[in-house]
Structure 1
Amino acid sequence: MRYATLGRSGLHVSRACLGTMNFGTDAQAPTSDTEARRIIGEFLDAGHNFIDTADTYRGGASEEIVGHAIAHRRAEVVLATKGAAPQGAGPNNRGLSRAHLTRALEASLRRLGTDYIDLYQCHVPDPDTPIDETMAAFDGFVRSGKVRYVGCSNFTAAGIVSAQWAAHRIGGTPFISLQANYSLITRAIEAEIVPTCQQNGLGILAYSPLGSGLLAGRYQRGAAPAAGSRLAQWAAMPSPMAHAFVTGLLAERHFDIADEVTTVAAELGTTTPTVALAWLRSRPEITSVVLGPRSADQLSANLAGLAFELPESVSTRLDAASQCTISPPVNGQHHTA
């Protein structure tokens, strides 16, 4: 079993992280309570120790399922969750303010049935709250013993630097990790975010390693996403950002990359997801890959993919096929060609 230290810390995590966004108790949840517990058990039995959830996943049901499943194995689990997402209608029930994060942390601890979180993370940036307030609140959580380490998700390079300096100014607790969207389809973080993490002591946790399903063969060139798929649900949302994400993901160039991965998989006698995961695991800048299996069978396939060794020539070939030209950020957003 391979472990790595997370960022500039002494915390050892498995190279595979179990993402639990699909776990729920309602009829619409992709993964039932029973199957979720089976997945968690098999993940831990295989020697992996890193589980990630969030207060917003399935309305908190994901945290409850995870908490029950690991209750008798709590000491062997590096448990990560996130706060920031709306937890009510009021203006102070969201974001990264001290007021909201304090309530969010207490609620997560109750749902998880534990008295501490190993890694507590900002789920998204909050432009309305000074980063000094957020980092001071996080430092208070660590000093209270309710949180061991802190991290962030979806932060820009500038946001990471601002947070680390804010922690430094108060002699507080800095971030040790960043969760970022990263795969053969989405490599924009390589331009600025990866070097910023390396310079500021953050390990990188790569989520959506199969390109939101594109590298798993769930979507076809020129065809609308199948009814019931995640992309179909996003496409039906009234949000312009959701529509832009779906359109961007289904770009012709991304299907070209997926086709190359499929070709490589056929040549190696394996599957497209295996090739995509093996490439990602081989990236030295990635500490752990966040998997999101819906079933125990998917978990087994994903773990096998992470263990697969790609020939160096194949990795070089995939690098070339998926490398994008990244322009300087405009209004905080990268544009790729």
Structure 2
Amino acid sequence: MAEGILRSLGGSDLALSPLGLGCWQFSKGRGLVGKFWPVLEDSVIRDITRISWEGGINWFDTAEAYGGGQSEEMLADALSALGDAGKGAHVATKWWPAMRTAGNIGKTIDERLRRLKGWTIDLYQVHQPYSFSSASSEMNAMAKLVEQGKIRHVGVSNFSAAKMVEADKTLRRHGLRLISNQVKYSLLDRRIERNGIMQTAKELGVAIIAYSPLEQGILSGKFHSNPELVKQISGPRKWSSGFKPDALKRTQPLITRLSELAGKYGASPSQISLNWLIHAHGETVFAIPGASKPHHATENVNAMRFALEEEEIRELAELADHSKR
């Protein structure tokens, strides 16, 4: 892995790159959510993983729900293909809670470990807040896995501010802390700044892990410069309201400024957007852009090579606010 800036994930001892690689797209088209992305060849998955690792990304986020464990397997194989050089890579995965109880956490952990083929689960997350059990019950089950040495740290995903507090309070009884909350966050979706999640994360020392950091590609600017590309989008993504002509018109001023800053930093609008995320709130926010082609991985790693100025960070936030009006 290339040397880069690392930061602590929440209150843990995990020193991670500000960007990780989101691995939903490694699902091989399996399962309901796996069909969101095209099926990637094994060689492409290995290339994406290698480019990410060599470029300074040292952690990879997957989940049980991504192809029913297929993403976990593909990630494990790709990391193992790195050989001794990749031994420092960190893996985060998630338990799927829908229609389950907290008791399922302990019953399915060995399947997660089997899918990951010997790779340590550095961060195990509850994928979403809806199940047949309380957040406290889930955290008690997670704490037991830490005590058993089957996982290292506990995180959540899509939890409200109140549920974050509940989860952290329960973990404290076990001498642990909530490390992260993985939520949807980008320049075009800043709800967590208004609903208490960001503020609570800062108060608790919990890291925010931003998924969909490029708003399904809208922040790349390519759909603004060529709206015909919207027709070529496959899967459910094409129905996102952000791709509609009136929405693209509203967000054009933001894209224009992203493009101007891209020229200044020798970057792309996507890289400026990612850089905004990882610098707008100190070291609180991490982001997990995906990559379905090797050049996407190169784009991701280069987004960590510079830092926007504070005035530019404020300006982009204001333009993003105006684009919603």
Shared fold by TM > 0.5?
Answer: yes
CA shift in 2, pair 1:311/1:202, >3 Å: closer
Partners in 2 of 1:4 and 1:212 — Cα distance? 26
Query: Residue 210 of structure 2: which of 189, 206, 222 is its match?
Result: 206
Partners in 1 of 2:97 and 2:185 — Cα distance? 22
Identity of aligned residues (%): 29
The answer for the alignment partner of 1:102 in structure 2 is 106
The answer for the alignment partner of 2:126 in structure 1 is 122
1:35 paired to 2:44:
yes
Contact 1:63–1:111 (CA<8 Å) still a contact in 2?
yes
Query: Residue 7 of structure 1: which of 10, 13, 20 is its match?
Result: 10
1:256 paired to 2:287:
no
User: Aligned to 2:187, what secondary structure does the other structure show?
Assistant: coil
Shift of 1:319: 1.6
The answer for the alignment partner of 1:291 in structure 2 is 289
Shift of 1:268: 4.6
Query: Residue 141 of structure 2: which of 134, 137, 147 is its match?
Result: 137
What TM-score, normalized to structure 1?
0.81
The answer for the alignment partner of 1:178 in structure 2 is 181
Deviates more, 1:21-30 or 1:159-168: 21-30
Shift of 1:314: 2.6
The answer for the alignment partner of 2:79 in structure 1 is 70
The answer for the alignment partner of 1:90 in structure 2 is none
Partners in 2 of 1:251 and 1:132 — Cα distance? 44
Contact 2:262–2:269 (CA<8 Å) still a contact in 1?
no
Shift of 1:151: 0.2
User: Aligned to 1:150, what secondary structure does the other structure show?
Assistant: strand
User: Aligned to 1:82, what secondary structure does the other structure show?
Assistant: strand
The answer for the alignment partner of 1:49 in structure 2 is 58
Shift of 1:115: 6.2
Q: What is the 5 A alignment of 1:230-241?
A: 230-232=235-237, 235=239
The answer for the alignment partner of 2:307 in structure 1 is 309
Shift of 1:23: 1.2
Shift of 1:281: 2.3
Shift of 1:254: 6.5
Partners in 2 of 1:254 and 1:152 — Cα distance? 32
Partners in 2 of 1:101 and 1:14 — Cα distance? 28
Shift of 1:60: 1.8
User: Aligned to 2:52, what secondary structure does the other structure show?
Assistant: helix
Cα distance per residue 1:192-240 (max 9 Å; x no partner): 111101112211111111112111235459989425434456x4xxxxx
Shift of 1:126: 2.1
CA shift in 2, pair 1:189/1:285, >3 Å: farther
Query: Residue 277 of structure 1: which of 254, 274, 277 is its match?
Result: 274
User: Aligned to 1:109, what secondary structure does the other structure show?
Assistant: helix
AA matched with 1:68 = D
Partners in 2 of 1:248 and 1:40 — Cα distance? 29
Deviates more, 1:144-153 or 1:71-80: 71-80
CA shift in 2, pair 1:85/1:162, >3 Å: closer
User: Aligned to 1:129, what secondary structure does the other structure show?
Assistant: coil
Q: What is the aligned length?
A: 307
Shift of 1:61: 1.4
Contact 2:277–2:286 (CA<8 Å) still a contact in 1?
no
Partners in 1 of 2:205 and 2:261 — Cα distance? 38
Shift of 1:250: 4.7
CA shift in 2, pair 1:312/1:99, >3 Å: closer
Cα distance per residue 1:259-300 (max 9 Å; x no partner): 323344136524321221221222215442212011111111
AA matched with 1:66 = L
Structure 1 unaligned residues grouped into runs of 5+: 87-93, 236-245, 326-335
CA shift in 2, pair 1:81/1:267, >3 Å: closer
Deviates more, 1:270-279 or 1:190-199: 270-279
Contact 2:97–2:130 (CA<8 Å) still a contact in 1?
no
What TM-score, normalized to structure 2?
0.84
Partners in 1 of 2:138 and 2:261 — Cα distance? 49
1:79 paired to 2:91:
yes
The answer for the alignment partner of 1:239 in structure 2 is none
Structure 2 unaligned residues grouped into runs of 5+: none
Query: Residue 192 of structure 2: which of 186, 189, 193 is its match?
Result: 189
